[in-house]
Structure 1
Amino acid sequence: MKRLGVEVDTSRRKIDLLGVYVDAITQDELFDYVSEVIRRSEKAIVANHNLHSIYLYHKRPRMREFYARAGLVHIDGMPIVYWGRLRGLPLKLEHRLAYIDFVPPLLSLAATKGWRVYYLGGKPGVAERAADGFRGRFPDLIIRTHDGYFDNDSDVIADIRAFGPDLLFVGMGMPRQEEWIVDNLGRLQAHVIMNCGAAFDYFAGEKPTPPRWLSGMGLEWAFRLLTEPRRLARRYLVEPWLMLPIFLRDLRSRRRGG
Structure 2
Amino acid sequence: MYHERAGFDLAAAEPDRRRRPRTPYRMQRRATERVTLLGQPIDLVRCEEVMHHVQHWVAEGQKALVANHNLHSLYLLRRDPSLKRFYDLADMVELDSTPLVWFGRLVGLANRSFHRCTYLDWRHHFWSVANRRGWRVMYIGGADGVAATAAENLTVRYPHAVIATRSGYFDADPGSTENAQVVDAVRAFDPHILFVGMGMPRQEKWIADVYASLPDCVVFSVGAAFDYEAGVQSAAPRWIGQLGLEWLFRLVADPGRLFTRYCIEPWFLIGPAMRDIRAALARR
Q: TM-score range by the shorter chain?
A: over 0.9
Query: Compared with structure 1, are the counterparts of its residues 61 and 118 closer, same or farther at alpha carbon in structure 2 (3 Å cutoff)?
Result: same
The whole-number CA distance in structure 2 between the counterparts of 1:84 and 1:60 is 24
After TM superposition, the structure 1 stretch with the greater mean CA deviation from structure 2, 197-206 or 246-255, is: 246-255
The answer to whether residue 208 in structure 2 is matched with residue 188 in structure 1 is: no
RMSD: 1.4
After the TM superposition, which of the residue ranges 103-112 and 222-231 deviates more from structure 2?
103-112
> Secondary structure, in 3 states, of the residue corresponding to 1:246?
helix
Structure 2 Cα separation of the partners of residues 117 and 110 of structure 1: 8
Q: How far has the Cα of 1:100 moved from its partner? A: 1.4
Q: Deviation of residue 58 (structure 1)? A: 2.1
Match of residue 117 from structure 1: 137
1:63 aligns with 2:89: no
Taking the TM superposition and a 5 Å limit, the aligned residue runs for 1:155-166 are 155-166=181-192
Aligned twin of 1:53 = 73
Matched residues in 2 for 1:8 and 1:105: separation?
20
1:82 counterpart residue number? 102
CA offset digits 1:37-71 (Å, max 9, x no partner): 11111111011111111111222222111111100
CA contact (8 A) 1:167 1:190 kept: no
Q: CA contact under 8 A between 1:44 and 1:71: conserved in structure 2? A: yes
Tell me the CA shift for residue 246 of structure 1. 1.6
1:239 is the counterpart of 2:265 = yes
Match of 2:93 among 68, 73, 82: 73
Deviation at 1:212, TM superposition (A): 2.3
Give 1:92's aligned amino acid: R
Give 1:1-258 correspondences, 5 Å limit.
6-12=25-31, 13-151=33-171, 152-257=178-283
The whole-number CA distance in structure 2 between the counterparts of 1:48 and 1:224 is 18
Q: The residue matched to 1:79 in structure 2 has which SS?
A: helix
Return 26-35 or 245-254, whichever deviates more: 245-254
- The structure that has the greater radius of gyration is 2
- The 10-residue stretch of structure 1 (164-173 or 48-57) with the greater mean CA deviation from structure 2: 48-57
Tell me the distance in 2 between the aligned counterparts of 1:257 and 1:69.
Answer: 30
Looking at structure 2, the residues matched to 156 and 162 of structure 1 have their Cα atoms a distance apart, in angstroms, of: 10
Shift of 1:224: 0.4
CA contact (8 A) 1:99 1:199 kept: yes
Residues 52 and 204 (structure 1), Cα distance of their counterparts in 2 relative to 1, 3 Å cut: same
The 2-side partners of 1:187 and 1:45 are apart by 13
Q: 2:68·2:118 contact (CA, 8 Å) conserved in 1?
A: no
* Contact kept in structure 1, 2:47 and 2:121, CA below 8 Å: no
SS of residue in 2 equivalent to 1:58: helix
Deviations 1:159-184 (A, max 9, x none): 11100001000000110000000111
Size of the alignment, in residue pairs? 254
Aligned pair in 2 of structure 1 residues 190, 122: CA closer, same or farther (>3 Å)? farther
Any unmatched runs of 5+ in structure 2?
1-23, 172-177
For 1:43 and 1:233, locate their aligned partners in 2 and report how far apart those are by CA, in whole Å: 36
Identity of aligned residues (%): 42
- Unaligned runs of 5+ residues in structure 1 are none
Find runs of 4+ consecutive structure 1 residues off by over 3 angstroms: none
Partners of 1:120 and 1:171 within 8 A in 2: yes
Which one-letter code corresponds to 1:119 in the other structure? Y
- How far did 1:243 drift? 1.2
**Per-residue displacement from partner, 1:70-108 (whole Å, max 9, x unpaired)?**
001111110111111111211111111121121232022
